Each structure stands twice: as structure tokens, then as C-alpha cells.
Amino acid sequence: MNFDEIIDRRGTFSSKWDNMEAYGGVSPDVGIPMWVADMDFQAADVLQDAMRNLLERANYGYFTGENEMKEATAWWMKERHGWTVDPDHMSSTAGLGHAIALILETYTNPGDEVIIFSPVYHEFAYKIKLNKRVVHEAPLVIRDGVYHMDMDALEAGLTGKERMMLISSPHNPAGRIWTPAELRQLADFCRRHDLYMVCDEIHHDLVYPGQSFTSFLNAAPEAAEYCFILTAASKTFNTAGARLGTVTIPNDHLRQRFRQALVEHQTQPNLLGVELTRAAYSPGGAEWVDALVSYIDRNHRLFLDGIGQIPALKAMPMQATYLAWVNFADTGMEMSEVLRRIHEDARLVPSIGTGFGTGGENCLRFNIATPRARVAEAVERLQTAFADLQ
């Protein structure tokens, strides 16, 4: 577990590294990619052992093991989140982007509105639009420096066409953990307005020491009848390439419909995803995650302290995730100038905030799940690029 080790990912078909020049115009030879949400660390030993076993078996044919993976997933949820979940309520998808698309397709109709709290993970709005549903944005408001949901404004702006609410819990970007009271409020809102609730908990393991995350169904068990809980080992263990996500649907009728949709689409989990997820959700995996979180926590403090020393830059305090959200509005600069400095002067490639919807206009999202030396380098480059700010 040497998270300080610099691993050269250039030319390894890593999307974050190999596509950074196309996205941000910065060569991977001189730049630091801080956009795509994956990590630059070596995989956990439990994953490497699983891969070695697979390699030794030397056969990649049809397989079983999905049930054991679901049992391992249920063990993890109980052990790490105090959430008792029935493995029979789980279905496997090809990642959570796929799960969201399939849920939209199965339970809503073209023209229906889906509520999202912006700024939020850009794929939410993208998937909604791609499926010809309508994005109903509920902009988050900043109070005491962090995001809050404005439920009164949401209620006042309802059109009657809303069918679903989709949230990121913890929240991407900015790493806000919604409190049990907030989650209960959302559950109640969905019940009163007859909305399905889709709660994406993909970031739930990456919670900083001293913070506590509550699974949606622990906060609001009564919402079991109309909710979908999305989880995956992919953010926690950096296995996004294995395309495996889990959708937990406690309601029998809703679950049957989802299973039917999977059958109609001939969707089955893949061998790599199942093997890696089963291996990840284990005591050895837990040990690795504890070390990882403590490492990222120190990265996050280094990054936020460094940003804090640049006048006019505001990094939102984070409770979870490795995605730091920095607001440049107080620089008084056009975002084109901010981006010029970030790309050309600092040679960093963060995610551009506009993609996250309303509220993201003046922001950039920085992925800090990389060896500390690189985070320190990124901070120094930012301080130099904005040294003229007073």
C-alpha cells in the first residue's frame, strides 16, 4: 500500500491520461490530469490476487459467481455502512451510468421530468436528455460555505410532470454528505409528489475521518417502496474499467420490471467485474480502503490549504470524495482567462464546472486521488498561475 508511488499511466489506455490533451489541450508529458474520476494508485492486493487466480485458471468462458458477489456486497454494506440489504434485491448492471439509463428508460416516459440538484455529476443531465426525458434542475444554494437543497424553491417550481428524483449521495462535486434529516426530507418529498427516488451512493466509502455517511434506506426505511439504491466497488477500488454496478430495489414489483428490462437488453455482468467486486468487498479490501481514505484525507487537506492561500479562490469544504470543487468567481476574471491560466500556465486539467449544470459556471473540479507529490505540485502551479491576485 504505497500510495506515494508514482505510476506512469501515459500510453496505457488510461482515459484520464491519454485523453487529457484532447480535453484540456495539455500534453500528458508536462501536465497533471485532474478531471476523470479515477485514481492513479496501484490496485489493492486483494484485487491483484483475484486477477492472478483468474490468470492461472486460464479460462474466460461463461461463469457463475454473481450470487457470491452479491453476498459479498451485502456483507460490505452491513460491515461498512450498517445497512442490512438482501442480496436478492440486487441486480447487476454494466456500471452505474448504465443503471441510470436503464432506470430512466424503464420507469419514466419521454417528456417526463427528472429532478436533479445542480451542480451535480454531469452524466445525470446527459443521460436524462439522451433518453428524451427532461432535466428539472433544483439549484443547490450555498449556506455557511456548503451546499444545501432548497426544498421550498423546488416545491414552488414543480410543473406536475416530475416522475423521478436522482441524487448523488455523497454529492459529486464538492463532497457534501447529506444528513439523515435531509435524506428523510427528500424521501418525504418523493412520497408526497409520487416520485421514484434514485439514490446514487457510488462515493459512500470515500468518507473522511470524523465524518459519517448514512445510507438512504437507513435514514428513510419507509422509502423502500419507491427507491433505487445505486452502489459499486468502482470508485472505492478504482475498478471503473470493469463496468460493474449494483442496483438495489427492495420493492418486488419494481424489481421484477428492472430484471425484465435486463433480460430484454440481454444484460449480464462480466467476469472481470464480478471477480473484482467479490474480491474487493472483503476484510482485506476494507483494510486497503481505510489506508486509502486516510491518504486521500491528507491530500485533501493539502489541496484545500493550498487553495486557501490564493486570494479570491474558494474551495468548498469536503466531507467525502476525492473531488475538490473550486470557485473562481471572486477573481473577477472571465472563465476563459481562468482556464487559459489553468491549462497554459499551470498545465493542469481539471473538469470544467459548466458541465455540472447551474451553479457550476465559475467552478472547476479537481481530482486529488493521485500521489501527494503531484497534489503538492498542482498546488504550487496554481499558486504561481494566480500569483498576481491580491
Residues in the interface with ligand PLP (CB under 6 A) total 13
At 7, list the grid cell.
505510476
How far apart (Å, rounded) are the C-alpha atoms in residues 91 and 360?
Answer: 33
How far apart (Å, rounded) are the C-alpha atoms in residues 297 and 294?
Answer: 5
Name which position in 97, 119, 250, 371 contacts ligand PLP (CB under 6 A): 97
Which CA distances in Å does 138 have to 156, 204, 272? 11, 22, 37
At 386, list the grid cell.
494566480
Name which position in 121, 189, 216, 258 contacts ligand PLP (CB under 6 A): 121
Name which position in 37, 103, 187, 320 contacts ligand PLP (CB under 6 A): 37
Name which position in 172, 248, 319, 367 contacts ligand PLP (CB under 6 A): 172
Binding to ligand PLP by residue 168, rule CB under 6 A?
yes
Q: How far is the CB of 121 from ligand PLP (least distance, A)?
A: 4
Please state, as a whole number, how many other Cβ atoms lie within 10 Å of the Cβ of residue 88: 12
Q: Which is nearer to ligand PLP, 140 or 385 (CB)?
A: 140
The 266-305 site mask, x for binding ligand PLP (CB under 6 A), equals ----------------------------------------
Which CA distances in Å does 331 have to 10, 92, 304, 327, 352? 33, 45, 17, 9, 16
At 17, list the grid cell.
491520461
Name which position in 183, 232, 293, 346 contacts ligand PLP (CB under 6 A): 232
Contact yes or no for 362/18 (Cβ under 8 A): no
Q: Which is nearer to ligand PLP, 310 or 364 (CB)?
A: 364
Q: How far is the CB of 246 from ligand PLP (least distance, A)?
A: 10
Q: For residue 137, what are the β-bridge partners?
A: 116
Name which position in 200, 205, 275, 297 contacts ligand PLP (CB under 6 A): 200
DSSP 343: I
For 356, phi then psi, to 5°, come to -90, 0
> Cell numbers 490530469 label which residue?
33
Query: Any idea how long the chain is?
Result: 390
Binding to ligand PLP by residue 104, rule CB under 6 A?
no
Q: Which is nearer to ligand PLP, 231 or 331 (CB)?
A: 231
Per CB under 6 A, residues contacting ligand PLP are 37, 95-97, 121, 168, 172, 200, 202, 232, 234, 240, 245
